[in-house]
Amino acid sequence: LSGIGDNFQLHTLLADALIGGGHVEGHAPSPQEVAVCRETPGQVETVGSFDLVAPDGEVIWNEGAPADIPVVDGVRLLVLDEPSYRRSWPAGRFFPGMRG
């Protein structure tokens, strides 16, 4: 993964691609929430769409980095579970100079 500084950013962009793209059900982030995770300056409040989980069932925390996602057969593998609780965070980029 490149251009992703933390799992909050990853979560928001995954929700956009998967929910916004019509591949899974759930709450898709707004265009503004996605924009601040890509290249627009600032932060915007967003809501979690799923739990990020490793194949062994261990939670992958949004506070972590994509490097926390385990490699299985040479690729990072992430399971998306139903959200276990409602949570929100300021969507944006941990490293503002790095385009997502």
Per-residue pLDDT of 57-80, as tens digits, reads 999 999 999 999 999 999 999 999
The confidence score (pLDDT) of residue 99 equals 73
Q: How many residues does the chain have?
A: 100
- pLDDT higher than 70, residue 5: yes
- Is residue 79 classed as helix, strand or coil in its secondary structure? strand
The H or E element that residue 47 is part of is strand 44-47
Mean residue pLDDT across the chain: 93
The confidence score (pLDDT) of residue 1 equals 67
The confidence score (pLDDT) of residue 19 equals 96
State pTM to two decimals: 0.90
